[in-house]
Structure formats: C-alpha cells, structure tokens
Structure 1
Amino acid sequence: MTQDDDPIEKQIDDWMSPGLNNVRLVYILYLVSFVVGITSIVGLVFAYMNRSKAAPWLQTHYTFLIRTFWIGVLMFFAALVLTLVAIGFVLMLAIAVWVIVRCVIGLQKASRNEPIENPETWLI
C-alpha cells in the first residue's frame, strides 16, 4: 500500500487543502478560539495559505475569514483600552457576538455552496 492509497492520509489532505472542508475547518477553529485562543491563529494561517488556490467563490470565504480575524483583533485592542472607563467590557461582549454571528453566517453560506456577497465588509 502506497501513501497515496492510505485513506487516512487522503482524509487529512482533504481538510488541509483548499476547498469547502478547509473553509468549514477555519470557521470552526475561529469558534473554538473562544475556549482555546490559539486556534484562531491556526485558522488564519490556513486561510492565508489556501485563499489564492481556491475556487473564486471560496476565495470570498477566505477573505471574509481573514478580515474577521484582523478586524476582531483591532476591535479587541480598542475595547481593551476602553476597559479603563468600564465600557470596554461591554464592547468585548459585542465583539464576541460579532465574531460568532459572522462565523455562523459563513458556515451557513458555505454549506449551501454560496459565496459571501461582500467579503470586505466590517459589518455582519
């Protein structure tokens, strides 16, 4: 049996190569990052690695995911500064809801094989 015939190796390659399964994996990694923070960085690396190799409709998902990460980080640091005046805690909750909603919407569109209409939006 060669390495190409190994079904476990093929299944791992399917999740790591550009495609629908990898997009779903990145969305799930973003959601899991609320429990294990480092997974969002792993998802970001996957998104950057696979964006240029994917089909055009999947590229919209990768762009959406990359922007979700960086906008979320930017808003988190702004909220962190604002914790000095106590409004930052409310903003952190709002950021968490924003990330979760974007991930759920992205997962729904990916499961229907639809692109993200405006992947560069700051909104939902």
Structure 2
Amino acid sequence: MNDTGTNGGPAPAGGGFDFNHSTIISLCYLASFITGISGLVGIVLAYVWRKDAAASWEASHYAYHIRTFWIGFIGSIIGGVLMIVLVGFLILLAVAVLVVVRSVLALLAAQKHEPMPNPDSWTI
C-alpha cells in the first residue's frame, strides 16, 4: 500500500479526512456563511501559514485561498453598494457561489495533496 500523496506528501491515514492547513482554511471559508466571522480567521491563517509551506502544492493553495478571500470581500462590498439599485442581490449571490465553489475545489485538491491549477485566477 502506498502511503504517500500525489506529490510525495503523506496521504491521510487509513483513507480518512486529512486536516491539513489548506483544508482548515477551506472549512473556515465555508463556515463563514454560517458564522460570519470564520472567513477572517481563514485569511489570517492563510497569510501566517504561507511562509511555512512545506510542499509546492501547499504554496499554491495559500495563494488560491488568499485570492478567494479578496474576491469574496471586494465582491461583497460592490454587491452591498449596488443593492440600492437591486443589482447587488445578484452580485452577492454570484460572489457567494464563486466563494463556495472555489473553497470546495481547494478542499478536494487538498485532500489529494494536489496543487491548485491556477492559483492567481479570479475565476474558478
């Protein structure tokens, strides 16, 4: 049985859920839709942990998570301001979907220890 991940990192023990740093940040972002504050915890962790990235796949995840936060933050501000003309509701919905999709994609890739294909993208 092979006990290493796709890029040489350790695979989750027994095929279980691996709580690596990228997974924790993704879960913080997803939980922010319920708590409202855990996204701030996620961005702080991403900035702190990116200096200690042990593998190349982790470095791409930190860049991806940081970009995801700023997309969500800026998009929410724009959507909030444009709620005056009712377009903001659609923008807020689109931003929420984008943040959820990016967080889930990062979560899935982190479980496989794979790098994010395009961490500097503003889209998926």
TM-score with structure 2 length normalisation?
Answer: 0.81
Q: How does 1:89-104 map to 2 (within 5 A)?
A: 89-104=89-104
Contact 1:48 1:66 in 2 (8 A): yes
Contact 1:76 1:95 in 2 (8 A): yes
Q: Which structure has the bigger radius of gyration?
A: 1
Report the secondary structure of 2:114's partner residue: coil
Offset at 1:113?
1.2
Which structure has more relative contact order (CA 8 Å, sep 6+)? It is 2
Offset at 1:91?
1.1
Off by >3 Å, runs of 4+ in structure 1: none
Q: Residue 43 of structure 1 corresponds to which residue in structure 2?
A: 42
Q: Name whichever structure is richer in helix by fraction.
A: 1
Q: How does 1:1-40 map to 2 (within 5 A)?
A: 21-40=20-39
Contact 1:20 1:58 in 2 (8 A): no
Aligned AA (2:78): A
Report the secondary structure of 2:116's partner residue: coil
Offset at 1:20?
6.1
Aligned AA (2:119): P
Q: Residue 4 of structure 2 corresponds to which residue in structure 1?
A: none
Deviations 1:57-78 (A, max 9, x none): 1010011001100111111111
2: CA distance, partners of 1:26 / 1:122: 18
2: CA distance, partners of 1:109 / 1:24: 9
